[in-house]
Amino acid sequence: MEESNELHSEENKNSQDNNKKRKLKTPAQLMALEKFYNEHKYPTEEMKSQLAEQLRLSEKQISGWFCHRRLKDKRLSRDETQANGRQDRSSVVIQDRASGLGQDSCGSTKHGEHRFVDPREVESRRLSGHDFTAADITREYRSHYTERIGDMDNTSSESSSSLQDRLLTRKEDPYDVETSRYLTHTKGMENMGYKPSGFLKVKGEAENAAITAVKRQLGRQYWEDGPLLGVEFDLLPPGAFESPIIGSGHEPSTIGNTVLRSPDISGVKGQLSPSTRYEVYNSRLNSQQENPSIMHGFDLQEKKSGKQLRQKLTYLNDTNSSPGKNFSLDIYKPSGGISAYNSNKKDRMRTKGNYGRKFTSEQTEPCSDEYDKFMSPKIVQRNEYLKSRPSSSMEKFDGECKAMKDYHKPLRRMNSTDEMAGTKQARVNFPQRDYGTNSFAQMPPRKNQIKGTAMEMPSSFSEDETAETNSSVD
DNA sequence: TTGTGTTTTATTGCCTCC
DNA sequence: GGAGGCAATAAAACACAA
């Protein structure tokens, strides 16, 4: 350990030269990391190196971040499991079994029983294409990128297990509608050749049974595309939440033969779905980029709204991040961990941490285009992905980075005057937006959306997107 | 403004695999 | 033995309530 200590001390010296205190990752870095994490929970050294270079972080930091990220996933999954354990022990069993496939993304070598499938092996296999036919890969990519183009979540067999787990183990919450929807869809995907691996497969089957049981208990017909478990809700007034959540937003989104509706959140209390700060942040950024002014306007008015609204919005957001919704809401959503996942944290489903953090002058955006890339409108990402998928993630990484450079050139920060203007603008724009047919990125951001940091974050809002947004409204 | 609680980041030690 | 990873821990950064 002496060596490592020396190394640490050396690094400490170096780092301390720069800053004695720990540095927070910038949003760009976080997004990049999250995105990469969702694709590669166990990045190779080369990947780490490139990532570090691109994000201007040390490889050690990268490694550390990934490690902590995996731990976070694991911890959250565990907590989630415990939370659900009382209500559905079978779920725990299933989950534990499934964890060997990916739930334990860290593939802890300490847990020998999980070693039979090393996540790294899965990862490498995924990378190398083993275990998948070319068609499977194609399908995976297709489902991956069409389900949520530009979305950080992933449906790949293992890398999203954590999120899937969290999403799929929530029996007690209304979210299960989405879950069942997702499972239903998963079935469909099986028919299409998509085979959920490991956890998804096992979990899905069991979950269906549980959902069926719930349906029976309710004694009412379960709506595949309707309100939650036989509960009908009154439509929200168009002005609710200062956003047209209802209105056009209730127009079902149609993808293929699947009709997806934005779930009615009225009357749905609490039971927030998992959401990482990053997710929140991401969703905020999505909202912001869609129309930065909206954020500010909303933020200003929302401060008085309190938790209730936050929860609703959170649910909205989370609902949209549910797998089932991903088919229509191609939102950049990571499969990241949860910041609020248990009873203790339900009320904490608000933005915290990084998203409100201010970046010091020392904390420069390592790759503003990188940042923009991940902030990029879904359309751009869709085009990116559909156009051509780079042979490697890093290539894609680079490509996107460059692409976004051009895309967000016209961006500039708003000054306080702009902000005020934006606030006004927001009030005008809000009711016009079609949340039903667009991603929830266009939904009203939550309270505290980019509080304080809003001005510091490079906006990806561009004229093109303005046009796009407006056109969608029209 | 301050105290408290949470999250993130960094560090360290140990373990397992190669 | 080195590399990579996990777990525990401390501390910083932050949000929020009083």
Q: Are strands A258-260 and A253-255 parallel, antiparallel or unpaired?
A: antiparallel
> Rounded to an integer, what is the distance from CA A394 to the centroid of its chain?
20
Note if the pTM is more than 0.75. Answer: no
Q: Which residue is the nearest neighbor of C10, CA to C1'?
A: A22
Q: Are A114 and A108 within 8 A, CB to CB? A: yes
CA of A95 to C1' of C3 (A): 30
**Secondary structure of residue A443 in the 3-state scheme:** coil
Protein residues in reach of strand C (CB < 7 A): A 3, 21-22, 24, 42, 45, 63, 66-68, 70-71, 74, 105-111, 120, 307, 350-359, 447-448, 451-453
Say whether the CB atom of A221 is under 7 angstroms from strand B.
no
Give the C-alpha separation, A288 to A19, whole Å.
31
User: Which nucleotide is closest to the Cα of A448 by its C1'?
Assistant: C15
CA of A134 to C1' of B6 (A): 45
Instruction: Round and report the angstrom distance from CA (A386) to C1' (B4).
Output: 48
> What pLDDT sits at residue A74?
78
d(CA A404, CA A274): 29
User: Which H or E run contains A259?
Assistant: strand A258-260
What pLDDT sits at residue A84? 64
Q: Report the alpha-carbon distance of residue A397 to residue A366 in Å, rounded.
A: 14
Query: Which nucleotide's C1' is closest to A71 (Cα)?
Result: C6
Nucleotide nearest A339, CA–C1', reads: B7
Q: Which pLDDT score is estimated for A80?
A: 66
Please identify, in words, the CATH class of the domain defined by A27-78.
mainly alpha
Q: Which nucleotides of C are covered by protein (CB under 7 A)?
A: 2-8, 11-17
Position A58 scores a pLDDT of: 80
Tens-of-pLDDT digits for all 474 residues of chain A? 333 333 333 333 343 334 456 777 887 788 888 888 877 888 887 788 888 877 878 888 888 888 888 888 877 777 666 666 545 444 333 333 333 333 333 333 333 333 333 444 344 334 333 333 333 333 333 333 333 333 333 333 333 333 333 333 333 333 333 333 333 333 333 333 333 333 333 333 344 444 444 444 444 444 444 444 434 444 444 444 444 333 333 333 333 333 333 333 333 333 333 334 444 444 444 443 434 333 333 333 333 333 333 333 333 333 333 333 333 333 333 333 333 333 333 333 333 333 334 444 344 444 444 444 433 333 333 333 333 333 444 444 444 444 333 333 333 333 333 333 333 333 333 333 333 333 333 333 333 333 333 333 333 333 333 333 333 333
DSSP-assigned beta bridge partners for residue A253: A260
Task: Kindly report, residue by residue over A106-148, the tens digit of the pLDDT.
Answer: 333 333 333 333 444 344 334 333 333 333 333 333 333 333 3
Q: Which nucleotides of B are covered by protein (CB under 7 A)?
A: 5-17
Closest by Cα among A309, A250, A316, A289 to A378: A289
How many Å from the CA of A212 to C1' of C10?
47
Q: Which nucleotide lies at the shortest CA–C1' distance from A306?
A: C16
Task: Tell me the sheet residues that pair with A260.
Answer: A253
pLDDT at A33: 84
CA A305/CA A303 separation, integer angstroms: 5
- Closest nucleotide over all strands to A115 (CA to C1'): B16
Q: From the CA of A144, how many Å to the C1' of C15? A: 35
* Residue A472 CA: distances (Å) to CA of A4, A148, A314, A436: 56, 18, 24, 11
Closest amino acid to nucleotide C6 (CA–C1'): A108
- Name the nucleotide nearest A69; use CA and C1': B8
